[in-house]
């Protein structure tokens, strides 16, 4: 139960705070933020944020500032740990009844509202103590500027649609990669540091702060909370039935009504309705969902002024922490049960890919604005005109999905030792595995690929690949050092999503494994003629088979296909071309027969 007085104090914060601050109230002049000093118009650069963090650390025994990595351009990545009992290590934080909440700002550095909201919120909790009860059952980890090199690519012209701050950071890293597409592929050093932090701290709840583009409407704050079949069913149920049910009225009462992330079915057309569903694990929230942790995406609205957006983010963080405090015991139970269930997914069919179900919707009240469509006399394109007239509209909300790909969870995956590009990522994600001490040849379930096609343009430094896959059983040899990943572990859902080719963000789809699609040795056509003649002379059954196959005129009329037909039946056929090199061990008893290295590799 939360005491009433802090709510009253909170109200005074909104009256006094931000644009007409009271230095005494704000914990002393040293702790007035640069955002407040600017009258809510500006957001500080890296050196100023680092200086502020030092002062915050010095001002409260409940705050410790650490670094969790170093950016490629050489900047230390700060994380602020806030705990009212000074439990500043993962073991201590998890030793009592607390839940650990990770909040990050600035993964897209231009969308920096969370940084300035978070600094003031920590001050209110740990220095002013007006919001100290928010730390009763929560240990907070706060990353103020995750994409730190992008944060320092400062310009007034980084975010074309966005109404402040005056100078903003840039969306991508110093090598032009988007960290919020990098969660599965883990290409960036920043992602590696983040994964280390996450593996070490095992947060129980994750928040990612952004600013959205898109249509105009009344809401300052929109959100997406992972509550679909991509995550554990109890985590999803807790998120919808406990967390969001309490958060939504609190936000409305606080002057910031919220609505699910505004992704209209038709662009800029509110009446077409809002579509919602799980983020794929390239995104931070989709990634956390696969680790069975509740994950919240905050998206403030680009057209609202900066001070208003920071206030909205502040409210969202504050009410989220309040709900988590009152729910801390339930959340701990839900997560413990989810981890146990994830470690027992073997033989279960789990969903990997989803599509919005347009046959199933509910009507919601949407706080929109009047709009109309015209035509641009310059481009000739249709042009939406949003007015300033608020309009509450009844619109459909499509929050259900159909599942478009699934996989049955095997007992284990086995990965040849040489596929280091895959094994390296398992390590980064904190997935446990063992290795073979000796070579093993055995039948495994796997897939044969066909019709592989690569995207013409790069996306996040990769040419994504699509293909058809046929499940097969194949005799394969796995050398010593090959990796055996038992799915009986809490990260099973993540393992399956990394290694099953049908998963939308599977590593093989990011082009890491393109060489498995390639054939390396070739016949000369004239040499193949001799081979074909010898094969036919030696094997009467092959003569009959070929005769039957020629009934297909697309074969009979195509010399390359005829040569291919024989090649695939010859001992030279390169079976590894188009073969997925990772095996599925379906039968758990097989694991007992493998020469596994004792202990973790």
Question: Taking the complex as a whole, how short is the minimal distance between the CB of residue 276 and Zn ion, in angstroms?
Answer: 17
Sheet holding 382-398, edge to edge: 264-266, 269-275, 382-398, 362-375
> Rounded to whole angstroms, what are the CA distances from 428 to 5, 188, 200, 202, 515?
45, 11, 12, 14, 22
Q: Which is nearer to Zn ion, 139 or 158 (CB)?
A: 158
**Min. distance of Cβ 12 from Zn ion in angstroms?**
32
Task: Say if residues 123 and 27 touch (Cβ distance below 8 Å).
Answer: yes
Helix (H) or strand (E) holding 407: strand 401-408
Q: For Zn ion, how many residues bind (rule: CB under 5 A)?
A: 3
Residue number, 147 or 318, with CB nearest to Zn ion? 147
Footprint (CB under 5 A) of Zn ion, residues 448-507:
none
Smaller CB separation from Zn ion, 213 or 269: 213
Minimum distance, C-beta of residue 399 to Zn ion, in the bound complex (Å): 21
Report in angstroms the alpha-carbon separations of 279 from 183, 231, 565, 591: 12, 11, 43, 34
Quick check: helix, strand or coil at residue 319? helix
Taking CB under 5 A as the binding criterion, the range among 92-100, 183-191, 203-211, 344-352 that sits at the site for Zn ion is 203-211
Nearest to 464 by CA among 275, 291, 282: 282
Q: What is the DSSP letter of 49?
A: H
Is the CB of 110 or the CB of 416 nearer to Zn ion? Answer: 110
Asked if 317 contacts 103 with a C-beta cutoff of 8 angstroms, the reply is yes
Q: Which is nearer to Zn ion, 210 or 311 (CB)?
A: 210
Nearest distance, CB of residue 108 and Zn ion, angstroms? 4
210 belongs to the binding site for Zn ion (CB under 5 A): yes
Chain mean position to CA 200: 18
Site string for Zn ion, 419-448 (x = CB under 5 A): ------------------------------
In the bound state with Zn ion, the residue whose beta carbon lies nearer, of 459 and 522, is 459
Interface region with Zn ion, contact rule CB under 5 A, candidates 138-146, 207-215, 274-282, 579-587: 207-215
What is the closest distance, in whole angstroms, from the C-beta atom of residue 209 to Zn ion in the complex? Answer: 9
| Structural element, H or E, at residue 63 | strand 63-70
Min dist. Cβ of residue 591 to Zn ion (A)? 42
Say whether 12 sits in a helix, a strand or coil. Answer: helix
CB of 210 to Zn ion, least distance (A): 3
Residue 235 CB, shortest distance to Zn ion, in Å, is: 23
> Shortest Cβ distance from residue 171 to Zn ion (Å)?
7
The least CB distance from residue 317 to Zn ion, in Å, is 16
List, as one string, the DSSP characters of 102-164.
EEEE-SSTT--HHHHHHHHHHHHHHTS-TTGGGGSSEEEEEES-SSHHHHTS-BTTS-TT---
3-state secondary structure of 442: strand
Q: Residue 349 to residues 214, 291, 588: CA-CA distances in angstroms?
A: 36, 17, 16
C-alpha 43/C-alpha 165 separation (Å) is: 6
Least Cα distance to 244 among 202, 284, 276 occurs for: 276
In the complex, the smallest distance separating the C-beta of residue 111 from Zn ion, rounded to whole angstroms, is: 5
Q: Residue 204 or 216: which CB sits closer to Zn ion?
A: 216
Q: Would strands 258-260 and 221-225 be described as parallel, antiparallel, or unpaired?
A: parallel
| Cα gap 154→576, rounded to integer Å | 49
Contact status, residue 444 vs residue 411, Cβ threshold 8 Å: no
Beta carbons within 8 Å of 349's beta carbon, 6+ residues apart: 406, 407, 408, 409
Least distance to Zn ion, CB of residue 488, Å? 36
Tokens of 273: 């309705």
Residue 138 or residue 288: which is nearer to Zn ion going by CB?
A: 288
Pattern 161-200, Zn ion, x by CB under 5 A:
----------------------------------------
Three-state secondary structure readout of 366-396: EEEEEEEEEECCCCCCEEEEEEEEEEEEEEE
Rank residues 111 and 113 by Cβ distance to Zn ion and give the closer one: 111
Nearer to Zn ion, 157 or 526 (CB): 157
Q: What's the closest the beta carbon of residue 180 comes to Zn ion, in angstroms?
A: 6
Can you give 453-503 as a three-state secondary structure string? EECCCCECCECCEEEEEEEEEEEEEECCCCEEEECCCCCHHHHHHHHCCCC
Residues 98-157 that bind Zn ion (CB under 5 A): 108, 111
CA 53 remoteness from chain centre: 27
Q: Locate 41 and state its tokens.
A: 């118009």
Q: Is 246 helix (H, G, I), strand (E, B) or coil?
A: helix
In this structure, the strands spanning 483-486 and 412-415 are antiparallel
Q: State which residue, 224 or 325, has the beta carbon closest to Zn ion.
A: 224
Nearer to Zn ion, 298 or 335 (CB): 298
Stretch that binds Zn ion, among 83-91, 208-216, 248-256, 588-596 (CB under 5 A): 208-216
Q: Which is nearer to Zn ion, 254 or 277 (CB)?
A: 277
CB closer to Zn ion out of 193 and 222: 222
Q: How far is the CB of 34 from Zn ion (least distance, A)?
A: 22
**In angstroms, how far is CA 18 from the centroid of its own chain?**
32
Beta-carbon-side half-sphere exposure of residue 200 (alpha carbons within 13 Å): 12
> Cβ closer to Zn ion: 81 or 302?
302
Smallest distance from Zn ion to CB 211, Å: 6
Q: Which residues bind Zn ion (CB under 5 A)?
A: 108, 111, 210
């Amino acid at each position: 139960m939360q005491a009433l007085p802090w709510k009253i104090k909170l109200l005074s914060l909104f009256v006094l705070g931000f644009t007409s601050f009271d230095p005494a109230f704000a914990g002393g002049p040293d702790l007035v933020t640069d955002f407040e000093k600017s009258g809510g118009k500006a957001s500080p650069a890296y050196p100023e944020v680092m200086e502020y963090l030092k002062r915050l650390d010095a001002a409260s025994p409940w705050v410790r500032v650490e670094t969790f990595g170093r950016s490629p351009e050489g900047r230390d990545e700060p994380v602020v740990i806030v705990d009212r009992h000074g439990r500043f290590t993962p073991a201590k934080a998890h030793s009592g009844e607390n839940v650990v909440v990770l909040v990050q700002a600035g993964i897209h550095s231009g969308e920096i509202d969370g940084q300035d909201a978070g600094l003031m919120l920590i001050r209110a909790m740990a220095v002013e103590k007006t919001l100290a009860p928010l730390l009763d059952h929560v240990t907070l980890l706060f990353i103020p500027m995750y994409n730190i090199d992008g944060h320092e690519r400062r310009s007034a012209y980084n975010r074309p649609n966005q109404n402040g701050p005056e100078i903003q950071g840039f969306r991508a890293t110093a090598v032009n990669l988007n960290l919020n597409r990098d969660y599965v592929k883990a290409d960036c050093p920043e992602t590696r540091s983040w994964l280390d932090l996450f593996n070490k701290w095992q947060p129980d709840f994750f928040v990612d702060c952004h600013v959205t583009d898109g249509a105009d409407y009344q809401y300052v704050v929109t959100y997406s909370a992972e509550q679909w079949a991509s995550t554990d069913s109890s985590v999803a149920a807790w998120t919808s039935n406990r967390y969001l049910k309490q958060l939504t009225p609190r936000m409305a009462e606080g002057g910031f009504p919220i609505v699910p992330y505004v992704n209209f079915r038709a662009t800029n057309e509110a009446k077409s309705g809002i579509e919602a569903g799980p983020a794929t694990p390239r995104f931070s929230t989709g990634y956390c969902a696969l680790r069975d942790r509740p994950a919240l995406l905050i998206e403030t609205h680009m057209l609202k002024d900066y001070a208003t957006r920071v206030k909205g983010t502040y409210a969202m963080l504050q009410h989220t922490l309040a709900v988590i405090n009152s729910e801390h015991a339930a959340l701990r139970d839900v997560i413990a049960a989810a981890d146990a269930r994830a470690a027992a997914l073997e033989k279960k069919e789990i969903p990997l890919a989803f599509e919005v179900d347009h046959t199933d919707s509910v009507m919601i009240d949407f706080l929109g604005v009047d709009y109309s469509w015209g035509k641009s006399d310059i481009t000739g394109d249709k042009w939406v005109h949003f007015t300033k007239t608020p309009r509450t509209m009844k619109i459909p909300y499509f929050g259900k999905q159909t599942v478009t790909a699934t996989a049955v969870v095997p007992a284990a995956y086995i990965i040849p030792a040489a596929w280091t590009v895959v094994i390296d990522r398992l390590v980064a994600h904190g997935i446990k595995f063992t290795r073979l001490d000796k070579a093993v040849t055995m039948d495994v379930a796997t897939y044969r690929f066909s019709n592989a096609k690569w995207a013409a343009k790069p996306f996040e430094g990769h040419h994504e690949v699509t293909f058809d896959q046929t499940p097969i059983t194949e005799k394969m040899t796995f050398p010593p050092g090959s990796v055996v990943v038992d799915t009986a572990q809490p990260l099973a859902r993540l393992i399956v999503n990394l290694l099953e080719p049908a998963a939308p963000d599977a590593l093989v789809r990011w082009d890491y494994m393109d060489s498995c699609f390639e054939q390396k040795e070739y016949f000369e056509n004239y040499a193949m003629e001799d081979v074909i003649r010898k094969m036919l002379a030696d094997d009467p059954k092959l003569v009959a088979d070929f005769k039957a196959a020629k009934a297909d005129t697309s074969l009979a009329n195509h010399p390359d296909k005829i040569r291919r037909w024989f090649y695939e039946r010859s001992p030279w056929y390169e079976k590894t071309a188009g073969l997925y090199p990772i095996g599925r061990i379906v039968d758990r008893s097989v694991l007992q027969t493998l020469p596994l290295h004792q202990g973790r590799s």
